[in-house]
């Protein structure tokens, strides 16, 4: 497929609205993007700079926040360019590259949350074996797999999708996600099946593992002392809040678009904005406020007494 092929897609409900309010939209989204970078980077720097935070749980939190910045960077720069452009266009190859980044980093989030769930399980349910199981090598393997496994699988899907013939050149969205497959002249059953396999590998199976892991944690802590239950709640609650938030937003992107449900345009726009705006800010706020050790260093940094 010709790399110079352009896809015209609707941003913020139409070209007229973009043209009329583009500088306002640009200012708001640019401020949000900078805020995402600052909030996530602040927590990451705190984790890196303080020795007492060099533990598996905090390393996984730092990886998750870095993933949020990368996720936002895959979307915001192109979106900001669109606000200042008369026409919102993207080349065929760049659209699939954005598609690749979006689903790779989305899948990485679920796998990182799975690693965090396993870390909490070992810490709470097998405390004596924790130093032996959660070694530096184990953590490194989890981090590499969390980014590598989704990348390999989504790369194949993006490559297959990029070779399909297009009969439609209007993408109804503010970035390239799985709706790009609606532009194909013929729906590929093989591509759809492969997409389901990817969905199972990087979303469904990790979700099952997380649910199983936290169920085991809750059963064991329920039978333990109040001190153990308090510790489990303090460390597990932030992970569960982030998981629930991201799962709900991903359900919209994956299920609604694949089932081609007739969603009102404004509802689709609001849900999409939450995915790219609300969630990357939600992560650092939750971990900054709910994780006791991080919050202590954050207060010191901000000189809050």
In sequence order, the β-bridge partners of residue 255 are none
What value does the mean pLDDT of the chain take? Answer: 81
Phi, psi of 187 (to 5 degrees): -70, 125
Residue 236, pLDDT above cutoff 70 = yes
Structure tokens belonging to residue 213: 């892991």
Residue 168, pLDDT above cutoff 90 = no
CATH architecture of 6-302: Up-down Bundle (1.20)
Alpha-carbon distance 222 to 96, whole Å?
A: 47
Q: What angle do CA 298, 287, 268 make, to 5 degrees?
A: 130
Question: What element of type H or E holds 154?
Answer: helix 136-162
**DSSP string for residues in 3-39:** TT-EEEEESTT-HHHHHHHHHHHHHHHHHHHHHHHHH
**pTM given for the model:** 0.86
pLDDT of residue 277: 79
Give the contacts of 231 (CB within 8 A, at least 6 positions apart): 124
pLDDT of residue 248: 74
The predicted-structure confidence for 5-48, as pLDDT tens digits, reads as follows 444 544 434 444 555 677 887 898 899 999 999 999 999 999 99
Domain ranges in the chain are 6-302
Stretch 120-149: mean pLDDT:
92
Residue 131, pLDDT above cutoff 70 = yes
Residue 247, pLDDT above cutoff 90 = no
Higher local confidence (pLDDT), 180 or 12: 180
Owner of token pair 């496994």: 149
């Amino acid at each position: 497929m010709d790399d110079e092929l352009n896809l015209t897609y609707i941003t913020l409900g139409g070209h007229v609205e973009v043209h009329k309010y583009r500088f306002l939209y640009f200012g708001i989204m640019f401020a949000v993007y900078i805020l995402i970078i600052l909030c996530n980077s602040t927590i990451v720097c705190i984790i890196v700079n303080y020795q007492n935070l060099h533990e598996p749980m905090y390393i996984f939190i730092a990886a998750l926040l870095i993933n949020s910045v990368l996720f936002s960077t895959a979307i915001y720069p192109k979106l900001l360019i669109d606000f200042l452009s008369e026409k919102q266009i993207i080349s065929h190859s760049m659209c699939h590259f954005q598609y690749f980044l979006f689903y790779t980093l989305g899948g990485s989030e679920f796998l990182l949350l799975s690693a965090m769930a396993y870390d909490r399980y070992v810490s709470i349910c097998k405390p004596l074996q924790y130093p032996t199981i959660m070694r530096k090598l184990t953590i490194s393997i989890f981090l590499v797999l969390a980014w590598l496994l989704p990348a390999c699988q989504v790369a194949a899907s993006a490559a297959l999708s990029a070779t399909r013939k297009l009969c439609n050149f209007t993408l109804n969205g503010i970035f390239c996600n799985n709706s790009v497959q609606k532009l194909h002249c013929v729906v590929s059953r093989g591509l759809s099946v492969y997409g389901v396999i990817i969905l199972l590998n990087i979303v469904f199976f990790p979700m099952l593992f997380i649910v199983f892991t936290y169920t085991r944690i809750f059963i064991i802590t329920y039978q333990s002392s109040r001190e153990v239950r308090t510790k489990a709640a303090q460390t597990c609650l932030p992970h569960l809040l982030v998981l629930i938030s991201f799962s709900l937003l991903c359900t919209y992107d994956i299920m609604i678009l694949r089932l081609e449900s007739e969603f009102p345009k404004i509802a689709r726009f609001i849900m999409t904005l939450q995915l790219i705006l609300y969630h990357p800010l939600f992560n650092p706020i939750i971990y900054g406020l709910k994780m006791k050790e991080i919050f202590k260093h954050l207060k010191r940094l901000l000189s809050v007494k």
